[in-house]
Chains A and B, each alone.
Chain A
Amino acid sequence: MKSLEELERIKKEAQAMTKLREDKENTKIVVGMGTCGIAAGARETLAAIMDELAKRNLQDVVVTQTGCVGLCEQEPIVDIVKPGKPKVTYGRVTGERARQIIASHVVNDRVVGEWVIATG
């Protein structure tokens, strides 16, 4: 170890790995993974989300899953919750749509209106 700067650099890298266990103030992406969601392709959607986040190196985004919310025909359903903002729910989110939602909503704060099925 040569300097505090070097330590800081290692710390930043390592925090990306442990952050998940600490901050509650992250953007949250919630994927509906009930039986209906999985049948409608939620696994692929989730995989696409993971891939997109990794590509963009978005370390402060938390991905969780939830069960069936009752709107099975709209599955795969994905919620985006940004800190301090109401929840936005998207329906029929394919992998491709998920990538666009991340690009537009998660990164640039522009909600993709046409796929939104509920807010708040």
Chain B
Amino acid sequence: MSSFYRAHVLVCAGAGCVSSGCKAVEQALRAEVAQQGLDGEVKIIQTGCVGSCDQGPVIVVYPEGTFYRKVRPDDVPEIVEEHLLKGRPVERLLYRDESSEPVVNLEDIGFFKRQRKIVLRNCGVINPEDITEYIARDGYEALGRVLTEMTPEEVIDIVKRSGLRGRGGAGFPTGVKWGFTAKAAGSPKYVVCNADEGDPGAFMDRSVLEGDPHSVIEAMAIAGYAIGSNQGYVYVRAEYPLAIERLSIAIKQAREYGLLGKDIFSTGFDFDLEIRVGAGAFVCGEETALIASIEGRRGMPHPKPPFPANEGLWGKPTLINNVETYANIPPIILNGPEWFAGIGTEKSKGTKVFALAGKINNTGLVEVPMGTTLREIIYEVGGGIPGGRRFKAAQTGGPSGGCIPAEHLDVPMEYDSLVKLGAMMGSGGLIVMDDHTCMVDMARFFLQFTQDESCGKCTPCREGTKVMLDILTRITEGKGREGDVELLEDLARTIKNTALCGLGQTAPNPVLSTIRYFRDEYEAHIREKRCPAGVCQALVKYEIIQDKCRRCGLCQKACPVGAIEEVVAPEEEPVAVGAGATGITGTAVTAGAAATAGAARTKRKPLAINQEKCLKCGVCMRECRFQAITRV
């Protein structure tokens, strides 16, 4: 059936590369390969996210494994002619590391070299819209083995012994959860996949669904067998159209191959899946709210217990796991729990996928063993901070998490050590901040987010986060009062203890952790009315350094409100010798025959920024060629 190809060109079609224009590149590739008569020899394959999203559109050419980045459709003829025809890599499109030497092979690039891919094992390697490519990489073998060789109890035991913990944020042992649901009385039971990934900056679940949807389908079928369920639901947010599309294709193909449906592997086991699309409310990532949303009710949480394991979807026992958790299951079944438990740390097994964002050179998706230090992730995988700036802190766990300051750069990334630092693993968003980030402003940003997303059902979350946000806003506007920090801490504790669901209980975390590590920044805002990082607009002042200023007038032209004005300094007036020159600057050129260049410069008056007019937009600072404008 299959014809023989000598080269495979993998075009990354993760959402990141789609938005940077990979579709046009793929079309150009197909056209050019056909034109050169290579279409019988070279196969072009669309894959899921390769991980290096800031380098998109990305293509990888096999068998060599050559990694090309930022490929434009115009580059395609050269790649086809030089690489695919003549076998010469196109050097200018290769990745360059810090030494600016081009790196040919994907495996030699630091960003990929340090990673260990279990969850993302197929992302960027297979075509997610072709089930046979998943099968080629051991796909559905775990399901086959489970159904034909194991009892449900044995499956649960394997998951327990692997030490896998929930990747959605809280880190609850997955095998224990499966055991609860299996034991729970009631029928039918349901298997649910939580793909409502709502943390700002997190996109690992989306990438798995886009790049390897079958791994989730297979794992859910395995879970169904283990707990005694025949029906699963994948709850995906509507903001992930590509993930929904690829998952739909995958479900359809799995049904065609009899891997979903009736009598799978002739064992009498039936299992099927449906997709439920959420409207993108952050609170629907909370499991009880998610269940309400699947049932067609308003997405609001209810108190636990009862836990979903006992009373979930339509009041029936329901197993809810996150996308990344499920993606770990097939390799655990195939390689054994001991293999998985051998990776990572004592209490956090396996790997974790992080979405690197913020002030970091290699933004994108990375998977590293649990226990890898933050320093390794940022400097070795992430390639460090742009412009050689200083690392200030990293926010983990998004709006529910906390920050890790520079003094804890060597913390191993695992559930418990992060909790000890007042942060949390969360779903794996990792936002890196440099010394130009104001921690008060950052806390305000995240609180603004949770405040917006609060469903309003319980008072601590609805009112408490609002009051906290008001205080933070006041501080960043220079109207902070003595005692505000203590008030924030008090409110935070109350909300954490009394809010109904995870959203409210974790909402104060960014505030608490920034106070814990950067209390001095709060105090500078409140007492000195100063923003040390120079971010909070109300507290920032732009000034001209007269010694550096050449009076070129560029900033004056750029200022949108005309806040940069000439200073009429009395002692300077005699400098202008010619009486005519003082009034008409424009005619200075005619007089310039006699004047030296230096004198011509002094004819322009010194400039200063009128603070009352200044909008603090910073455009003058960006325009100045002589670094003569500072932000204080």
Contact = CB atoms under 8 A, between A and B. Distances in A.
Contacts of A63: 6-7
B140 A1 contact: yes
B33 to A, nearest CB: 14
Interface in B1-56: 1-8, 10, 40-41, 43
A50 B4 contact: yes
What are the 7 closest A-B residue pairs judged by CB atoms, nearest first? A65-B87, A14-B136, A63-B6, A14-B132, A1-B258, A54-B4, A33-B86
B259 interface: yes
B125 A21 contact: yes
A34 B86 contact: yes
A67 B132 contact: no
Given A1-B265, A50-B40, A20 B133 contact: no
Contacts of A47: 41
20 contacts: A1-B258, A2-B265, A3-B265, A4-B141, A10-B135, A11-B135, A13-B1, A13-B2, A14-B133, A14-B135, A18-B136, A33-B85, A35-B86, A50-B4, A50-B6, A50-B40, A54-B4, A63-B7, A65-B86, A66-B87
B86 A18 contact: no
A2 to B, nearest CB: 5
A118 interface: no
A53 interface: yes
B136 A17 contact: yes
B3 A20 contact: no
A64 interface: yes
Interface of B: 1-8, 10, 40-41, 43, 62-65, 85-88, 125-126, 132-133, 135-141, 144-145, 148, 257-259, 264-266
Chain A at the B interface: SS class: helix
Contacts of A54: 3-4
A67 B86 contact: yes
Contact of A67 (B3, B4, B87): B87
Contacts of A20: 5-8, 62-63
A18 B144 contact: no
Contacts of B133: 14, 17-18
A1 B64 contact: no
A18 B43 CA distance: 11
A119 interface: no
A62 B63 contact: yes
B30 to A, nearest CB: 18
Contact of B258 (A2, A21, A46, A53): A2
